[in-house]
Chain A
Amino acid sequence: MTPFPFAAIVGQDEMKTAMVLTAIDPKIGGVLVFGDRGTGKSTAVRALAALLPPIQSVAGCPCNSATPDDCPDWAQVTDTALVERPTPVVDLPLGVSEDRVTGALDIERALTRGEKAFEAGLLARANRGYLYIDEVNLLEDHIVDLLLDVAQSGENVVEREGLSIRHPARFVLVGSGNPEEGELRPQLLDRFGLSVEVTSPKEIDTRIEVIRRRDAYENDHAAFMAQWQPEDAALRDRILTARAALPDLKTSNVVLHDVASVCLALGSDGLRGELTLLRAARALAAYEGAPDVTRDHIRRAAPMALRHRLRRDPLDDAGSTARVARQLAEVLP
């Protein structure tokens, strides 16, 4: 069954915006979605995958290379035709082994033909796409470390049986989880560009609408998909337009100053916060078709770009969202 239409997700506007922004500018660096059970976190990720424009890639390449020249040697790609593929969205299941993530030597070929050949892993498949980790806070530490290294360098390096294999692994990390089951290490938290908090809708009408759409999706699938197809298509076009507009977007010194002062006031660690906030504000401006980035864009992008970068203050009862809002009101009146 085709995934739920992105546009048909009821409410959850911040989550949807954050996902769209990373689709416009993958350099923003991923989204972390934390929240209650049964709020449609993974539905949204799958919906986004179906929404995104397809990519051009070499048919036989295990890491979705854009041109035959980009294909790694070890892959021995024979089919170099360029094909259109949906943007890859790869699931990283909990309990996955390191070998499956990074790739490993192909046991079948070793046994049957006595050859040493590399079998690509999930990181290769996620190249130029999305890597989705449900319940990211429960992922084993050594897998987390591995992902961080690769996300940082954009390259996956595997050394086995005297072979050294490398391939590009640039992907947008999407993680979701429930904070009640344990929190994410600050080191990993910081690697996500944006973070959003989702809660179950409280209004009864909204809740009924959620269930109603699910019924239509499951029991009247074709009609439901047809109903939402135009909206999804419009959204896809908007993402493409925004991508094209992004390089020409003007960013004034005032805006840069605003970004710096918000981050300074919040004491968010490192420059990553500033860069992400700027990128997110630019993507938001491009999404809305604005000619330049304004203070308003910064104000709206700041909560998702910064709330997970604040130093923990056990004596401050307000949540991080409230702290960001407080500082924004002061710094950017």
Chain B
Amino acid sequence: MTPFDDTSGPNRPTPPPDPWAQVGLALVLLAVDPAGLRGLWLRGRAGPVRDRVLAALAPLAPRKLHPFMAEDALSGGLDLSATLALNTLQRHEGLLNRDGVLTLTMAERCPPGLSVRLGQALDARPGLALVALDEAAEEGEGLPQALSDRLALFLDIDAFGWSGSTDLALDMPCIAKARARLATIPLTAEALEQLTRVAHGLAIDSLRAPWLALMAARAHAAWRGVTELSEDDLRVAVELVLAQRARALPQEAPPDDTPPPPEPPEDDPEEGRDRDSQEPQIPDDLLIDAAFSALPPGLLARLQAAKAARAGAGNSGAGARRKSLARGRPIPSRPGKPGSGARVDVIATLRQAAPWQAVRRSARPDAQPGRLLLMPDDIRIKRYQDPTDRVLIFVVDASGSAAVARLAEAKGAVEIMLAEAYSARDHVALVTFRGETAELALPPTRSLVQAKRRLAGLPGGGATPLAGAMQVALNAALQARARGMSPTLAFLTDGRGNIALDGSANRAQAGEDATTLARAIAARAIPSLVIDTSLRPKPLLSELSAAMGATRIALPRADARAMAQTLGAALGG
């Protein structure tokens, strides 16, 4: 199916590179060609190891950014105090308006607006490069895609202890020489095609990836002091640029691969090489091995899990990486009228009025001297990101006992609710459970498209790991709350849990576990709702609902629309 069928064997010739040397190499490449590589995504908690990495970057004189920086700090703006003092216009320069290296701390908390803004700045200004410090602790956190797609290099330094690392120092004179060599190294057609093919084989959709890999290969060649790209340069590029972007293992078909395209009609002799791409190629194999050995730990397992959850087309990692929009924090004030609950931002209002005092005074000579002349237009209103951003977490029972027809109706109800949540600008998340596991099939999102995709691909049948599902849902709710959202849990189940938390098919233990979790949900005051989908409601589920403090609604015969109406009413619209 793919050119990489033969690489799955256990004997991989390339030994894994020395991991810490790899860290040093990535920093060197970034220093050699910041304009081509655009930056580094550095994953790791703040600590001495990360400090070692950052210390090495010091010669590049990075400027610091944080996720909640005001717009005028980024793009520049009026420096009011200096302007008033000097009586001529004084601007302060925005961080994004100068070439150089920026470091973004707490990059995992970077709101989508800022990440896109930074992405645009990187595109517009080739002299800018970004080091994103991602301190993600949880699966599902991470760098927003607008950035991860643009930054060539990725390093995960959480695995390194203090003793596993050494001090790093950039050899700036050598780097300067390498920089001078950069433009003289041609990107050969072979290298270009090979890296594009490897990226394709790893199911990396974005076309930025192969380009960034080429830039990394060139920077590596320049660093080595040679004038043309070699196998070694490509290997490094694959390890540092392509490996962490992999969306599928090379030996499996990419998730939304269409059948092999028909041969292109024109017969360009230069493209004759590509005809062979159905055959395994030795250099490609080596590169794929390099990707294998550089895959971040746990990626293989994650890909397998993602594959199971993936319904049809689309790259499943996208939603999981996305940051929440809501945070319940103050955002820049806006012009407005006081009253109707709005609070005046006094400082912003004064800042707005200050430059106009001389003009206004000349228009109103009778005004009392020394008094501030305010106009209604000056008034600025405080704004906060809505802290009551809701997230509805649907917990859908897809087990055998919730018969197939019920599952279809539950899906229908969730879809209607999704459409309503979409119009109300709510977030939705989806937890599904069947067989032995419960999983967060969709992290909180506003994307109707994604939610529908996940839901449509949900299979039915198997045992009922209700307790596990409650645990996943509880975690999702707590995470959402930590991000300033108000979670609500909606269970659609018949309540006949028969798999305990430890995965054993022990009905009694399963019931106990479910009750424990129900109490945990109640203790954290997470509003919840249970839709009993069983044909003959059992006391079991009403007891569980009571322990959870949930509203229980028995809907033995309700169709999707009735179910959605009830849900909507119970959730207060």
| CB within 8 Å for A219 and B377 given contacts A38-B209, A114-B362 | no
CB atoms of A200 and B205 under 8 A apart? yes
Given A204-B274, A314-B418; A98-B335 close (CB under 8 Å): yes
CB within 8 A of B112: which of A138, A162, A215? A138
A182 at interface (Cβ–Cβ under 8 A)? Answer: yes
B355 touches A107 (CB 8 A): yes
Task: Indicate whether A227 reaches chain B with its CB closer than 8 angstroms.
Answer: no
Within 8 Å by CB of B71, from A95, A116, A203, A210, lies A95
**B419 close to A211 (CB less than 8 A):** no
Is A179's beta carbon under 8 Å from chain B?
A: yes
Please, how many angstroms separate the alpha-carbon atoms of A256 and B223 in the complex? 65
Q: Which of B387-395, B430-438, B444-452 contacts A (4 or more CB under 8 A)?
A: B444-452
Is A183 in contact with B448, judged by CB distance below 8 angstroms? yes
B377:A161 contact, CB within 8 angstroms: yes
Q: Are B187 and A95 in contact (CB under 8 A)?
A: no
- A107-B355, A161-B359, A314-B418 as given contacts; A36 in contact with B205, CB under 8 Å: yes
When chains A and B are docked, how far (Å) is the Cα of A208 from the Cα of B195?
Answer: 9
Knowing A107-B355, A110-B355, the reply to whether A215 touches B71 (Cβ < 8 A) is: no
Tell me, rounded to whole Å, the shortest Cβ–Cβ distance linking B425 to chain A.
9
B211 lies within 8 A of A211 (CB): yes
Q: For the complex, what is the distance from the CA of A260 to the CA of B71, rounded to whole Å?
A: 46
Q: With an 8 A cutoff between CB atoms, is B328 at the interface? A: no
Contacts of A201 in B (CB 8 A): 207
> Closest CB of chain A to B108's CB: distance in Å?
16
Q: In whole angstroms, how far apart are the Cα atoms of A115 and B359 in the complex?
A: 6
Tell whether, in the assembled complex, residue A182 and residue B447 are in contact, meaning their CB atoms are under 8 Å apart. yes
B300 within 8 A of A: no
Please pick, from B189, B208, B277, B332, the residue contacting A212 in the complex, using a CB distance under 8 A: B189
A263 to B49, CA, bound (A): 62
The answer to whether B83 touches A111 (Cβ under 8 A) is yes
Considering the chains assembled together, what is the distance between the CA atoms of A39 and B412 in angstroms? 34
> What size tier do the contact residues of chain A reach?
35 or more
List A residues 8-41 near B (Cβ within 8 Å).
Answer: 36-40
> Which of B7-15, B256-264, B338-346, B544-552 interfaces with chain A?
B256-264
Instruction: With both chains docked as a complex, state the minimum distance between the C-beta of A32 and any C-beta of chain B, in angstroms.
Output: 15
Task: Give the chain B neighbours of A214 by CB distance below 8 A.
Answer: 211
> A86 to chain B: which residues have CB within 8 Å?
none
CA distance A179 to B257 in the complex (A): 20
With known contacts A135-B146, A312-B419, A210–B207 Cβ distance under 8 A? yes
Task: Give the distance to chain A from B527, nearest Cβ to Cβ, in Å.
Answer: 24
Is A315 an interface residue, CB under 8 A from the partner?
Answer: yes
Bound form: Cα–Cα A212–B449 in Å:
33
CB-CB nearest in chain B for A177: B116
B134 at the interface (CB under 8 A from A): no
Interface pairs A-B: 9 shortest CB-CB: A38-B206, A108-B89, A38-B208, A314-B419, A203-B261, A314-B415, A200-B205, A135-B116, A95-B71
Task: Name 9 A/B residue pairs within 8 A (Cβ), A-sorted.
Answer: A38-B209, A40-B207, A111-B88, A115-B359, A138-B116, A181-B112, A204-B277, A211-B207, A211-B211
Known interface pairs A134-B116, A180-B319, A211-B210; 14 further A-B residue pairs with C-beta atoms within 8 A, sorted by A's residue number: A111-B87, A115-B359, A116-B359, A135-B112, A138-B113, A161-B377, A181-B112, A182-B112, A203-B261, A203-B264, A210-B207, A215-B214, A219-B186, A219-B187
